[in-house]
Amino acid sequence: MIDRLLLSCLLALAFGVLAAQTSWAADATAGRKKASACQTCHGYDGIAKIPTAPHIAGESQIYLENQLKAFRSGKREHEIMSVIAQQLSDEDIADLSAWYSAIIIEVIVPETQ
Ligand code: HEC
């Protein structure tokens, strides 16, 4: 019984530390500055400036982080993004994802007959 209590305390502590680290690492203001490396293709605002790049504004933090880490590890490959992601630290990825996920986008769906 005591062991289970101790275990749940340790788990709570571990998750608490992890959560604290994540929120500390993800800094949208720092991400905005770092986004100067992305603006030619994705824009500061996350709306693509070239037709072959995707819009990344408003995508979730976790999705953006996962994609950037996948490009960096080679799990996802693209001639440009694989090279760019090599230069990003975990903190860069968290900051950039915080910036682009914080952008609010509006959608107008076309009317259909
Ligand atoms: C020279 C152009 C260029 C630059 C600069 C660039 N990207 Fe990209 N990015 C692309 C293209 C093209 C793709 C589409 C990749 C594919 O088709 O798989 C992409 C894909 C992505 C994706 C995946 C989007 C999705 O919907 O799955 C993310 C996230 C991303 N880029 C983030 C960044 C960040 C952050 C930076 C700056 C550090 C950056 N990119 C710089 C061209 C660029």
- 94, amino acid identity: A
3-state secondary structure of 109: coil
For residues 64 and 101, the answer to whether their CB atoms sit within 8 Å is yes
| Other beta carbons within 10 Å of 77 | 9
11 part of a folded domain: no
107 part of a folded domain: no
Q: Whose CA is nearest to atom 36 of ligand 1?
A: 38
Residue 98 CB less than 6 A away from ligand 1: no
User: How many angstroms is it from 28 CA to the middle of ligand 1?
Assistant: 18
Residue 38 CB less than 6 A away from ligand 1: yes
- For the chain, residues with pLDDT lower than 50 are 9, 13, 15-21, 23
41 part of a folded domain: yes
Residue 52 CB less than 6 A away from ligand 1: yes
Cα angle value 65/80/64 (rounded, 5°): 15
What's the domain count of the chain? Answer: 1
